[in-house]
Structure 1
Amino acid sequence: MKRIQTLLLLLTGALNGFSQTQPAPETYNFTVTQAVEYAYAHQNAIVNANLDIKSAEYKVKETTGIGLPQISGQATFTDYLKIPTQLLPGELAGRPAGTFIPVQFGVKYNSNLSVTANQILFNGSYLVGLKASKTYKELSARSYQRTKIEANVNVTKAYYQVLVNNEQLRLLDANITQLKQQVDQTTAQNKQGFVEKIDVDRIVVQYNNLLTTRENTIRLLALNYQLLKFQMGMPIEYNLTLVDKLTDVNLQNDVAELGADTSFYRRRIEYNLQETQKRLNELDLKNKKTQFLPTLSANASYAASYQNNSFGSLYSNNFPSAYVGLTLSVPIFNGLQRENQVKQSKITVLKSQNDLVNLKNSLNLEASQANVNFINGLQSLNNQKQSQALAQEVLRVAKIKYQQGVGSSIEVTQAQTALEDADNKYIQGLYDALISKVDLDKAYGRIQ
């Protein structure tokens, strides 16, 4: 028994020592702006989009390299185990016609070393490809920007969700505090015979329901913190404290100012992406047209040939050769394939133009919808604030009447329920207004 106790003590000490050596989770205190900046540096989708830009840069260099001299070298070695035999006509040696003389030409060992160079002098597809590769890089950069905007929106909404949950928890704590006082007062009055037991039960039920709601809200708050960390690309085990308060959020109604901006859609990354895609389609059409043009390239080669029947003396004799030249390739007829490819590319360009017009209309509609949602959200929030204040006043009057004996406990219970309902609607209205504000900024291209 003592041995077991000793082992347990040693194990406990080892575990404590191990836990002490573990680094404590990092702690961050972030405003919403700092949370977004953290996401820009750590969010997985943004990191990958940034890598796509680097990949596009290498793609541009790869395409550029096609126009640089292409040099290759080759080395061969051949050991003729059996030297090839050629048949010569027998008449050459005075033999009867129709006979052949077997003759072996060549030597046992052969080796060739050569260097070949090619240089494009004119190629329409290459010139268009250079422009297309740069446009492709631009497309990657704009895709990166779109990913950043999406992360900004998601982080901001998740941040506001946590703030709203904290406000909800604050209201619950205030209601629980005042309701606990009411429970204590009603219980004392019941003991003195001034109120009935059912009055105590009604208030206790409400009090217990509020406690349950608070526990649920705390669990939901913890989950929303994890969601915010996920949107930021932050490890879940890190500690995060929000610096901003709800009072720091600007919910001013500037819809009229936004409505005067008729070219806002050009700030939308979706429109920029569609424009870039249209340019890529136009370059593809141009590339198809260049296939009707000839191509010109220069080439040169130098080769050293070694032949000998003795392997040891193979490289003692060199028979070099070299040449330079031009290659002109002129397309003549390929079954009308190029013509049909050009027509297909023209249709693709027309479709991209139509898509751009449709996207503009869609963005205008989205902005109009965001305007309406924001105005409605602000109005609902203001109404809920007034309803919340009225509910608090009704509860205050109902409690006074009940204490003076001119009101019933049912009125107090109903007033308490009405206040809780008003608080819940206020919280929902607050969240809707904050989210509609984010959507409004996104719709008008304010988030970049």
Structure 2
Amino acid sequence: MKKILFSLFGILLSTLPIHAQWDLNRCLDFAKANNKALLAQKQQLRVADYEQKIAAAKFLPEVNLAIESSYYWKIPVQSYPGELFGLPAERVAIATGSKLSGNYDVHINWNAVDMQSWQNSKLEKLKSQSVAYGIQSMEQLLLRNVTAAFYNIQIERQNKDLSDKLLAKHLLIHQLLSKKFQEGLLDKIAINQSTAIRRQYEKYQAEQEMAYQKAVLDLKYWMGFPLEEPLELVAVSVNIAVLRILDFKAEQLPDYQEKEASIKVAQQRLQASKYYRMPQLSLGSSFGQIGFGEQLSTFTNFSKWHSNGYVGFRLRIPLFAPGGAPTVKRNRALYEQTTQEFVAYQDQEKKRYLQLQLDLKQTATTLNAQEDLRKLAEENLTLCNQKIEAGIMDMIQLQQIQQELIKTVTAENKVRLDYLKNQIELNYLQNETQKI
């Protein structure tokens, strides 16, 4: 028994996601299943499906059972002319009913012809489809955000590793300078300058660590991952590849189907409102029994109860509906507004797509220049360290080179991140793969 429990415990531990390495695909799968906004959107689809069923249920017959029973401690009377009973009095009070009375009936009502309800049912179906397209749009947005956050972490990881590397290199230099100071070959000023440079590297390292942690927190949020739990990601190299620029197609926009469905909803709402003048025909039927008795034994003898029933129809013809015409005009205006917004949406997204193309080309050019500057700064730092190791002390030059290196690396990483964001955004706008 203990072996079985230990085996089950081991299997459980092996399935815990917080101790596993997470790649981009796994992050995306987890986000689709756990993102809070997406789950709320899916719940909205369930609500829309129920609204559709409620609208369709209006065309089914409605069946009701009514049961009533009364005990009269004082039987009511009715006034009748005395001549009906051969009495001289003008009016005679006659008790009606008995101490015990009861009745039951089964009533069926069916809205056989109701064109406006039929149009409303079609409207609810289109609303449900619109919500479903909204979920697809949300999934595409989530795919974009998780991808951008994942690669942002990779860049911040590289920044953090670089800051660790720079600090480690300078610590070696600082140890060398401290040794020369103890030997009397170096004055205190050089040691203080070296300490100031070390503090700058430590500050840069702390800033990169904080940026990395914020990037991880951002990814956890989009994934719906527990914010307090650790998330270990697979380290991948971020390659700046040449993006294959596609021609803009509005049909490929992630929100295109949702926006198009909103037009169909507005059109159907207009169509449904036009039926306010249509007659409505309902069919009804009822069957029941009524019984009387002075005592419970006679009252419960159902063979003596009196049956009743009917079959009929009800035709409702609207003659004056003051709110009908304004409702139609309002819905027509909403339909035209939705159509115009759809056209404006396509133009806006096309402009955005073309702007991103320009931004991508510009950042690619800037990135190449920043890479060259960073390489020069790294080479200068290496040469300066070699001079110090050879006994040629120039701490002012070392501090300037250090500041220049941090400045160029920060600028390069910002441009690299902008390039990746533009690339991911272009992919998102045309439903292309999000991988870099």
With the length of structure 1 as denominator, give the TM-score of the two structures: 0.85
Which one of 209, 212, 217 corresponds to residue 200 of structure 2?
209
Q: Distance in 2 between matches of 1:208 and 1:49?
A: 49
Shift of residue 41 of structure 1?
Answer: 0.6
Shift of residue 193 of structure 1?
Answer: 5.5
In structure 1, the residue matched to 2:170 is 179
Q: Distance in 1 between matches of 2:212 and 2:176?
A: 32
Kindly indicate whether the alpha-carbon contact (under 8 Å) linking 2:103 and 2:291 is maintained by their aligned counterparts in 1.
yes
CA deviation vs aligned residue, 1:102-121 (integer Å, no higher than 9, x gap): 11222222111111112222
Shift of residue 192 of structure 1?
Answer: 5.3
Secondary structure at the aligned position of 1:346 is classed as helix
Which one of 35, 47, 51 corresponds to residue 55 of structure 1?
47
In structure 2, the residue matched to 1:80 is 72
Shift of residue 96 of structure 1?
Answer: 6.2
Q: Distance in 2 between matches of 1:86 and 1:409?
A: 119
* Aligned amino acid, residue 287 of structure 1: A
1:329 matched to 2:316: yes
Q: Distance in 1 between matches of 2:40 and 2:367?
A: 39
Secondary structure at the aligned position of 2:299 is classed as helix
Secondary structure at the aligned position of 1:306 is classed as strand
Secondary structure at the aligned position of 1:157 is classed as helix
In structure 2, the residue matched to 1:268 is 253
1:144 matched to 2:144: no
Kindly indicate whether the alpha-carbon contact (under 8 Å) linking 1:402 and 1:412 is maintained by their aligned counterparts in 2.
no
In structure 2, the residue matched to 1:39 is 31
Q: Distance in 2 between matches of 1:447 and 1:327?
A: 60
In structure 2, the residue matched to 1:231 is 222
Which one of 417, 420, 429 corresponds to residue 415 of structure 2?
429
* Aligned amino acid, residue 334 of structure 1: A
In structure 2, the residue matched to 1:366 is 352
- Using the TM superposition, name which of 409-418 and 313-322 deviates more: 409-418
Q: Please, which runs of 5 or more residues in structure 1 have no aligned partner?
A: 1-22
Q: Distance in 2 between matches of 1:434 and 1:108?
A: 88
**Aligned residue pairs: how many?**
419
Kindly indicate whether the alpha-carbon contact (under 8 Å) linking 1:171 and 1:423 is maintained by their aligned counterparts in 2.
no
Secondary structure at the aligned position of 1:327 is classed as strand
Which one of 253, 267, 286 corresponds to residue 301 of structure 1?
286
Kindly indicate whether the alpha-carbon contact (under 8 Å) linking 2:254 and 2:429 is maintained by their aligned counterparts in 1.
no
Secondary structure at the aligned position of 1:88 is classed as strand
In structure 2, the residue matched to 1:124 is 115
Which one of 263, 283, 299 corresponds to residue 268 of structure 2?
283
1:318 matched to 2:309: no
The structure-2 alpha-carbon separation of the partners of 1:343 and 1:164, relative to structure 1 and needing over 3 Å to count, comes to same
Kindly indicate whether the alpha-carbon contact (under 8 Å) linking 2:284 and 2:311 is maintained by their aligned counterparts in 1.
yes
Secondary structure at the aligned position of 2:98 is classed as coil
In structure 2, the residue matched to 1:16 is none
In structure 2, the residue matched to 1:439 is 425
Which one of 198, 209, 219 corresponds to residue 189 of structure 2?
198
In structure 2, the residue matched to 1:396 is 382
Secondary structure at the aligned position of 1:246 is classed as coil
The structure-2 alpha-carbon separation of the partners of 1:252 and 1:430, relative to structure 1 and needing over 3 Å to count, comes to same
Shift of residue 66 of structure 1?
Answer: 1.5
Q: Distance in 2 between matches of 1:315 and 1:93?
A: 31
Kindly indicate whether the alpha-carbon contact (under 8 Å) linking 1:370 and 1:443 is maintained by their aligned counterparts in 2.
no
The structure-2 alpha-carbon separation of the partners of 1:208 and 1:356, relative to structure 1 and needing over 3 Å to count, comes to same
In structure 2, the residue matched to 1:253 is 243
The structure-2 alpha-carbon separation of the partners of 1:244 and 1:63, relative to structure 1 and needing over 3 Å to count, comes to farther
1:414 matched to 2:406: no
Secondary structure at the aligned position of 1:81 is classed as coil
* Aligned amino acid, residue 252 of structure 1: V
* Aligned amino acid, residue 224 of structure 2: G
- Using the TM superposition, name which of 87-96 and 357-366 deviates more: 87-96
1:65 matched to 2:37: no
Shift of residue 93 of structure 1?
Answer: 5.1
* Aligned amino acid, residue 63 of structure 2: I
Kindly indicate whether the alpha-carbon contact (under 8 Å) linking 1:288 and 1:341 is maintained by their aligned counterparts in 2.
yes
Kindly indicate whether the alpha-carbon contact (under 8 Å) linking 1:115 and 1:301 is maintained by their aligned counterparts in 2.
yes
In structure 2, the residue matched to 1:89 is 81
The structure-2 alpha-carbon separation of the partners of 1:405 and 1:217, relative to structure 1 and needing over 3 Å to count, comes to closer
Kindly indicate whether the alpha-carbon contact (under 8 Å) linking 1:125 and 1:287 is maintained by their aligned counterparts in 2.
yes
Shift of residue 76 of structure 1?
Answer: 0.7
Kindly indicate whether the alpha-carbon contact (under 8 Å) linking 1:64 and 1:130 is maintained by their aligned counterparts in 2.
yes
Secondary structure at the aligned position of 1:200 is classed as helix
Shift of residue 196 of structure 1?
Answer: 4.2
Q: Distance in 1 between matches of 2:240 and 2:284?
A: 68
Kindly indicate whether the alpha-carbon contact (under 8 Å) linking 2:273 and 2:324 is maintained by their aligned counterparts in 1.
yes
Kindly indicate whether the alpha-carbon contact (under 8 Å) linking 1:152 and 1:447 is maintained by their aligned counterparts in 2.
no
Which one of 145, 148, 163 corresponds to residue 154 of structure 2?
163
Percentage of pairs with the same residue? 20
Shift of residue 208 of structure 1?
Answer: 2.1
Provide the aligned C-alpha RMSD in A.
2.6
Shift of residue 408 of structure 1?
Answer: 3.7
Q: Distance in 1 between matches of 2:426 and 2:415?
A: 16
The structure-2 alpha-carbon separation of the partners of 1:125 and 1:381, relative to structure 1 and needing over 3 Å to count, comes to same
* Aligned amino acid, residue 281 of structure 1: A
Q: Distance in 2 between matches of 1:57 and 1:244?
A: 43
Q: Distance in 1 between matches of 2:69 and 2:85?
A: 34
* Aligned amino acid, residue 299 of structure 1: G
